[in-house]
Amino acid sequence: MRRISRAKLTVVAFGFAGAALTVAAQASDGAKVRLCHGTASASNPYVLIDVSESALAGHFDGTAPGHGRKNNPDFVLAADRADCSGGPGGGGF
């Protein structure tokens, strides 16, 4: 029988623990909201992210990380839209 090194067992154990923590975190997050997160980039002014309802307030009160003065404002993606193109109003930038 092949011997498995202690280092390999440690890596596998941490991998299983990380996967379990990820599943637990996803289960406890509750409902997700699709949010267009504003950036300061002219070529990519918004990125689409999913955040838990409990983290939503931070995107609008200025406490979320990554919000600079030059960033476009965040907005919740309307149910009838598939992406962030066009900004909050859905028109051109």
Give pLDDT tens digits for 63-93. Answer: 766 677 788 888 999 999 999 998 998 876 6
pLDDT tens track for 2-56: 555 554 434 333 343 333 334 444 445 478 999 999 899 999 999 999 988 888 8
Closest CA to 38 of 46, 28, 30, 27: 46
Report the pLDDT value the prediction gives residue 62, as an integer from 0 to 100.
Answer: 67
Report the pLDDT value the prediction gives residue 89, as an integer from 0 to 100.
Answer: 85
Report the pLDDT value the prediction gives residue 20, as an integer from 0 to 100.
Answer: 38
3-state secondary structure of 63: coil
**34 has which bridge partners?**
50
Element containing residue 33 per DSSP (H, E): strand 32-38
Q: In whole angstroms, what is the distance from residue 50 CA to residue 36 CA?
A: 9
Closest CA to 93 of 60, 51, 45: 45
